[in-house]
Amino acid sequence: MNAAKDTAEGTRAGDPTRVLVINSGSSSVKYQLLDMADHARLATGLVERIGERGGVADHAAALRQVADELDGQGLGLDSPRLAAIGHRVVHGGTRFTAPTLITDEVVTAIEELVPLAPLHNPANITGIKVTRELRPELPQVAVFDTAFHATIPEAAARYAIDLATADRYGIRRYGFHGTSHAFVSRATAALLGREPADTNVIVLHLGNGASASAVRGGVCVDTSMGLTPLEGLVMGTRSGDVDPAVVFHLERVGGLGTDEIDTLLNKRSGLLGLCGDNDMREIGRRMAEGDKAAQLAFDVYVHRLRRYIGAFSAVLGRVDAIAFTAGVGENSAAVRGAALLGLDNLGVTMDPVRNAVRGTGARLVSASSSRVAVAVVPTDEELEIARDTYALATE
Ligand code: ADP
């Protein structure tokens, strides 16, 4: 991140200040076109159901549709205003610890990481390949979900398993949602009127996927997701932490195969597994009607969250702020309130009125007397990727 290149100061009208951000997922491609001169969002869109009935055939077709949609708005990929394309890439392994200008060698290295992220990296790679074919001479940048967590010390990154086995298979805690944790930890410091370097923040990214991170002075020192995004908090459809012996038990006693267990823990667990719904709004409605399964799902979700808040308070020693972000974090006053209830001894005192007020911008929801500030900070992963991309492309 190069702060000096954040807004493209000194640029003139007509200069290439636009960045296209591509998030090529397993069954969808999301895109945003941003102008870094003023952070205006010029276009945004989504191609869904790739490879499914009623959707386009494959990622190549989806990206061609993106190019056509942009063309139709006079914002085509051939525009001289386009400075670069930024790609979200889920797994950077230990090889990529910062945003990286894409070359053939970089594509090969991302391909070599597919075993670590078989569900995610292949779609990211296809996105990169197709846009490189469409605009071969344009700078393209890979921004990794894992990169912000590369600073985690060995004590936090290592699992306590045989070292040689771990190293042989690349088994360690990598962490994910890094662009969001980076953006939100900095935005929280700004909200407090402090420098990131002087601010310790626990970031709680609670979307469909959910993760926590401990950020000391702008540097990530611990995170809840691990080798894959399955570890840590309870999520929409993922279990988060379980005793690894659950897997052996399901295999030996339940007769389930590896892929079945993978699907169970990633797609049929979490809130969905506990109550049949993974949308926190629906869970709230059901709880209001006295639904016991929905209440259990909420309680398990919040209990896990409190565990991580306690753990990361100890990891940081001094906590200046706790920041909630993403769909649940930004919108659910009930989750925020329950997660921080009775934590006055940790210096956390909520203001129930501020917490209940709905809003869109970054805001404080703690009492003025609270030693630890509690903030709601909308995340903006696209802007973060665009900043990183623009900084590298114009270096
Ligand atoms: P993703 O990880 O897919 O980007 P989001 O950050 O958009 O997810 O979060 C999606 C989740 O946010 C939904 O599953 C929903 O439970 C939750 N959510 C969205 N709006 C609200 C709301 N008003 N109240 C409670 N939860 C909400």
Spatial separation of the C-alpha atoms in residues 87 and 84, rounded to whole Å: 10
Given this model, what pLDDT does residue 51 score?
86
Q: What is the tens place of the pLDDT at every residue in 197-235? A: 999 999 999 999 999 999 999 999 999 999 999 999 999
Nearest CA to ligand 1 atom 14: 279
Partnered with residue 30 across adjacent β-strands are 23, 46
pLDDT at 12 over 80: no
Residues with CB under 6 A from ligand 1: 207-209, 236, 278-281, 326-328, 331-332
Average pLDDT, the chain: 94
Spatial separation of the C-alpha atoms in residues 273 and 244, rounded to whole Å: 18
* Atom number of ligand 1 nearest to Cα 210: 2
- DSSP letters of 193-210? T--GGG-EEEEEEESSSE
What number is the average pLDDT over the span 327-338?
A: 98
71 carries an active-site annotation = no
* Atom number of ligand 1 nearest to Cα 283: 16
Query: In percent, how much of the chain has pLDDT > 70?
Result: 97
Partnered with residue 200 across adjacent β-strands are 216
Q: What is the tens place of the pLDDT at every residue in 232-247? A: 999 999 999 999 999 9
What number is the average pLDDT over the span 150-164?
A: 98
* Atom number of ligand 1 nearest to Cα 334: 25
Distance (Å) from CA 283 to ligand 1 centroid: 12
What number is the average pLDDT over the span 296-319?
A: 98
Q: Give alpha helix (H) positions in 149-233.
A: 154-157, 163-169, 178-191
Q: What is the tens place of the pLDDT at every residue in 111-134? A: 999 999 988 899 899 999 999 998
Given this model, what pLDDT does residue 281 score?
97
Partnered with residue 18 across adjacent β-strands are 35, 82
Distance (Å) from CA 116 to ligand 1 centroid: 27
Q: Is 31 helix (H, G, I), strand (E, B) or coil?
A: strand
Given this model, what pLDDT does residue 14 score?
78
Q: What is the tens place of the pLDDT at every residue in 19-63? A: 999 998 878 899 999 999 999 999 999 998 888 888 899 888 999
Q: Is 147 helix (H, G, I), strand (E, B) or coil?
A: helix
* Atom number of ligand 1 nearest to Cα 379: 6
Site to probe by mutation for ligand 1, drawn from 272, 305, 331, 382 as the one with most ligand atoms within 8 Å of Cβ, is 331
Q: What is the tens place of the pLDDT at every residue in 364-375? A: 999 999 999 999
Nearest CA to ligand 1 atom 20: 327
For 257, phi then psi, to 5°, come to: -85, 170
Sign of the CA dihedral 100, 205, 311, 349? positive
What number is the average pLDDT over the span 95-110?
A: 96
- Locus of tokens 């003023």: 38
Given this model, what pLDDT does residue 283 score?
98
Given this model, what pLDDT does residue 359 score?
87
Distance (Å) from CA 352 to ligand 1 centroid: 21
What number is the average pLDDT over the span 81-109?
A: 96
Nearest CA to ligand 1 atom 3: 208
Q: How far is CA 14 from the centre of its chain?
A: 33
Evaluate whether 275 touches 283 at the Cβ level (below 8 Å). yes
Distance (Å) from CA 335 to ligand 1 centroid: 12
Sheet containing strand 40-47, strands side by side:
40-47, 29-35, 18-24, 82-89, 140-144, 100-101
Distance (Å) from CA 279 to ligand 1 centroid: 7
Alpha carbons within 13 A on the beta-carbon side of 321:
33
Given this model, what pLDDT does residue 158 score?
98
The band of 9, judged by pLDDT with boundaries at 50, 70 and 90, is: low
Given this model, what pLDDT does residue 78 score?
87
Query: In which element (H, E) is residue 32 found?
Result: strand 29-35
Given this model, what pLDDT does residue 197 score?
98
pLDDT at 352 over 50: yes
pLDDT at 11 over 50: yes
Q: What is the pTM of this model?
A: 0.94
Catalytic residue among 6, 35, 145, 388: 145
pLDDT at 3 over 50: no
